[in-house]
Structure 1
């Protein structure tokens, strides 16, 4: 099976570009995420981190 896939993939023109595109998307995503983490305002982070502890906004769940 692997031999078939390898032979098939060798016949596709430009097949080497797909892994490079995937790597670039992965790299860009994490660079943007890293940038957002370090530039997010401290007030926003504090507000979002307090959401799970805020009892006023929780819905009453009845079992």
Structure 2
């Protein structure tokens, strides 16, 4: 079964670009997330972290 899948995947033109695109999307997403974490204001982080403890929110 594995031999069939390997042979089938090798027959697809341009198949090598898909793992590269996946890696690029993965890297860009986490780079942007890393940038956001360090650039977010401390007041916003504190406000959002206190939402579960706020009793004034409607249920």
**TM over 0.5, shorter chain:** yes
Structure 1-normalised TM-score?
0.90
Structure 1 residue runs of 5 or longer lacking an equivalent are none
Q: How many pairs align?
A: 59
Alignment match, 1:29: 29
Distance 2:2 2:54 in 1: 54
Structure 2-normalised TM-score?
0.96
Distance 1:37 1:58 in 2: 29
For residues 41-63 of structure 1, the C-alpha deviation after alignment (integer angstroms, 9 at most, x for no partner) is 1110010000010011041xxxx
Distance 1:53 1:2 in 2: 52
Structure (1 or 2) with the greater helix fraction = 2
State yes or no: 1:55 paired with 2:58. Answer: no
Distance 2:45 2:22 in 1: 30
Alignment match, 1:45: 45
